[in-house]
Chain A
Amino acid sequence: MKLETLAQVNVERAARRPVIVVTDTANGEQRLVKAADIATDPLRSDLAKQLRMGKSGMIEAAGKKLFLNVYAPTAKLVIVGAVHISQALAPLARSLDYDVTVVDPRTAFASPERFPDVPLIAEWPDVALPPLNIDHYTAFVALTHDPKIDDPALLHAFERDCFYIGALGSRKTHAKRGERLTAQGAKDSDIARIHAPIGLPIGAVSPSEIAVAIMAEITAQLRLPKEAAA
């Protein structure tokens, strides 16, 4: 690998932008494809598929055996609300390799006893969220049921192009939330991005089951082609 290629990979990774290195394993010839350039690349369908799956692998193209080395940023999960569901959600998400952070200004909820081994920020969203550098490779869930906490958090998530945004609440609750957020300047397209009621409809009842439903929905959003993900 040329030093310039390696340096570019490091720059892209530090910026949490995905990059793929294509290597002809017969002769070591290499090129780097940035995420923004995939759509116009001759190998676009293979590149897009490998990136979506977050998987490196060999392909054959034009009689060549090519290795596609995918460097995708680690997905983050930001959970707003240190509630009962979050206690089940945080360890589940960690087992799925997400970098998990829990935010809740209510210190009685955001206690290390309730959330061992999870980064916990007992601050309001306007203080807690900006330093987290929330980006496209972030799933964002608002679970407090308290508009004072959930609403500003969701407004922040809209600005950051998160690949998944979900919020706890019934259809009725969600309709009211939509009205409040619109009044605060959110666009209809922002409101439409919120998955609510949150999680795949699997009849989840207990906090752990709801956590499974949420992670299943996030996984579908991350891995399925865009048109197939609900």
Chain B
Amino acid sequence: MLNRDEDILKAAEDWQKAGHGVALATVVETWGSAPRPAGSSLVINDDGTFLGSVSGGCVEGAVVTEALDVIASGKPRMLEFGVADETAWNVGLSCGGTIRVFVEKVG
């Protein structure tokens, strides 16, 4: 866990230093059976490359799109997802969960 998250934050630092626009998306609140706990993060750079996860796969696409806007504008924003609405989790997995994700620019 530590290693993986550490690599994500190290990548964020390295990308920024290499001149990329970088955004950090972090799960700040969860309700119900959310797939990843508060503090889970996803780092995105301006060519759309990303590392980490905020949901285990179902909302990452949308977060990346929003993150590119945040990189462009520099303004942080809060996103909210009902995990079950998004896509094909099997019945019994992660149903009904909601997550709130804070997206901010690095730098």
- Nearest-CB distance from A147 to chain B (Å)? 34
> Are B9 and A23 touching (Cβ within 8 A)?
no
B38:A13 contact, CB within 8 angstroms: no
Q: Are B38 and A56 in contact (CB under 8 A)?
A: yes
- How far apart are the CA atoms of A58 and B100 in the complex, in Å? 11
B67 to chain A, nearest CB (A): 13
Interface string of B1-23 (1 = CB under 8 A from A): 11101100110110011000000
Q: Is the CB of A3 within 8 A of B106?
A: yes
Task: Flag whether B96 is at the interface (Cβ < 8 A).
Answer: no
| CB atoms of B6 and A14 under 8 A apart | yes
* Interchain nearest-CB distance for A54 vs B (Å): 9
Q: Which residues of A contact B (CB under 8 A)?
A: 1-3, 6-7, 9-10, 13-14, 23, 25, 27-28, 55-58, 67, 69-71, 73-74, 97
Q: Which of B24-32, B58-66, B82-90 is near enough to bind chain A?
A: B24-32
Nearest to B70 among chain A residues (CB) is A28
Contacts of A25 in B (CB 8 A): 28, 76, 78, 102
Residues of the A chain whose Cβ atoms lie less than 8 Å from the Cβ of B37: 55-56
10 inter-chain pairs at a CB distance below 8 angstroms, sorted by A residue, are A3-B107, A6-B13, A6-B106, A10-B6, A13-B9, A55-B37, A56-B38, A57-B39, A67-B28, A67-B102
